[in-house]
Amino acid sequence: MKSNRLAGHTLRNEGRVYDLRGQRACCGPAFCSCGAQSDDVMHTVSARQRWHREHKAAVKAASASR
Ligand SMILES: [Zn+2]
């Protein structure tokens, strides 16, 4: 089975967003552990997970073309 994990790239809090008081927030940008951040504020966990999947695919494509 092919793993979709990419070393150094994990989605912070699995795509959940917390405000400064540690409360679950419904919307916010997605963050990757590598420091990448989505350009857009997203309103659902699944949107942030989708962003992260595409982010990892872009990283893989960039490293494969070297
Ligand atoms: Zn990343």
Question: Is 65 within a domain?
Answer: no
Question: Is 21 within a domain?
Answer: yes
CA 17 to ligand 1 center in whole angstroms = 17
Question: Is 6 within a domain?
Answer: no
Ligand 1 is an ion; residues with CB less than 5 A from it: 9, 32, 34, 36
pTM: 0.84
Question: Is 41 within a domain?
Answer: yes
Segments forming the whole domain that contains residue 23: 12-60
The pLDDT tens digits of the residues spanning 14-53 come to: 999 998 999 999 899 999 999 999 999 999 999 999 999 9
Look at the chain and report how many structural domains it folds into.
1
- Checking if the pLDDT of 8 tops 70, the result is yes
Question: Is 1 within a domain?
Answer: no
Question: Is 38 within a domain?
Answer: yes
**HEC letters along the chain:** CCCCCECCECEHHHHCEECCCCCEECCECCEECCCCECCCCECCHHHHHHHHHHHHHHHHHHHHCC
CA atoms within 13 A on the CB side of 47: 13
